Copies of this chain bind each other. A is one copy, B any other.
């Protein structure tokens, strides 16, 4: 990475001097993504096209995919139909679809017009699946063979046609009705006796998914079963396409990014930070802050309702943020753990009760410890004078008042800890039940409810229990 500046100069100079052999050498020894990144921002179509003319066809598909959308557009516009057809033939249908999704309509039309008819059909099929489904990430180039074929013939056929498949490491086996009946790993095929039929060596414990399955579920299956490729099938168990592990790695990162963003009140970010514009960043952050400000009307109203209490005893206002923050943090902790476990599909049917019971016990223990800790902490703060009670209208017995205040904070926090954890753990399940992304609304909603309950507890304990003790 440190050398990317030198690499850029090297590349540009090499192209300038038309040093074909060195350019070829660069593509042979350096991954295409590093080369594409070194050319970041280079928009001279003539220059980019020169590269495509010179380098081996083995690299054109990947190199094109690694360029930026702007560069891809320049290249397609400058390419002749013949060049474009050649490029499409060296790319996989799913990569082409990814490219198409970022192109203006006229470029898309041109790609579809020049694409060979079978590729066009594949592209159109893939374009029809909804975002974030198995169908949207699958590819239509895979190896499917009849179960009666001999190992020898299978290997010969892969040698002949395998280049066009996205993976040859998993071979999908079908019966006479075109139903998927097994999978074979390439190494098992190589190790098998040449005279065996595929049926005798295939794995029957294969995993499939449906085209409408959520991509997150698909990723969880890859992880659980250590898969390299998975077939996407229709209801008759006929293959529609396959998903490969390299796409799944991207999905896992993307889904984690979404959870991380949503749990921290940022709208999910798809591009890298530096490629996101200032206005897009504003749009991702601003609405959340506004929503949270509006949601706070409830707690503002409650505090205002007790403003007489505060005016007579301002120390109440000193400790209310402590309670609000601790409640928000505690609820957020539970929500985070539950949301993540739901995303990773850790819970089975019936686990809901186990989770509630576990959280209830955790909440009781934390409430007990935090209650005592809060009494000690707030009493110390007042004892050493960091927080004063001077401005209150009852200073006759300051140590009793200090003790009662710390007891107030401690007992309120016990209530806060219990309800924040219970709501923080119930809400994600509820969100999932009503098909809302649990990561999105749980945090703000939990905080709002916990804030209101905590403040009510805080002011009412003081007004009804402790205040009468002093007067």
Binding site for B on A (CB under 8 A): 1-2, 4, 27-31, 33, 155, 158-159, 162-163, 168-169, 186-187, 190-191, 204-205, 207, 222-226, 228, 245-246, 248-250, 252-253, 256-257, 259-261, 263-266, 269, 272-274, 278-279, 281-282, 284-286, 288-290, 292-294, 296-297, 299-301, 303-304, 307-308, 310-312, 314-322, 324-326, 328-330, 332-338, 340-341, 344, 346-349, 351, 354-355, 358, 361-362, 365-366, 369-370, 373-374, 377, 381, 386-388, 390-392, 417, 447, 451
Contacts and interface: CB of A to CB of B under 8 A. Distances in A.
A191 B163 CA distance: 9
B373 A290 contact: yes
Contact of A344 (B1, B253, B263, B299): B253
A366 B285 contact: yes
B252 A245 contact: no
A362 B281 contact: yes
Contacts of A346: 272-274
- Interface residues of A, dominant DSSP: helix
25 contacts: A1-B349, A27-B205, A31-B205, A159-B191, A163-B191, A186-B186, A263-B264, A265-B329, A273-B346, A278-B362, A279-B365, A281-B362, A285-B330, A285-B333, A286-B369, A286-B370, A293-B374, A296-B322, A297-B381, A304-B387, A310-B391, A311-B312, A314-B314, A316-B317, A317-B320
Given A158-B190, A245-B249, A263-B264, A329 B288 contact: yes
Nearest to A207: B31
A341 B273 contact: yes
Given A29-B205, A282-B365, A292-B326, 7 more contacts: A228-B228, A253-B256, A253-B344, A285-B362, A285-B366, A307-B390, A310-B314
| Closest CB pairs A-B (n = 8) | A317-B317, A256-B256, A307-B314, A264-B336, A310-B314, A304-B387, A273-B341, A307-B391
A370 B30 contact: no
A269 B33 contact: no
B361 A278 contact: yes
Nearest to A447: B325
Contacts of A30: 205
Given A288-B333, A320-B317, A274 B347 contact: yes
Contact of A260 (B259, B318, B325): B259
Nearest to A160: B191
Contacts of A162: 187, 190-191
A166 B71 CA distance: 39
Given A304-B386, A374-B293, A28 B333 contact: no
A213 B249 CA distance: 20
B341 A272 contact: yes
A373 B249 contact: no
A347 B427 CA distance: 36
Give the one of A265, A273, A282, A290 with max B CB within 10 A: A273
Contacts of A155: 190
Contacts of A303: 317-318, 321
B348 A4 contact: yes
Contacts of A223: 249-250, 253
Nearest to A190: B159
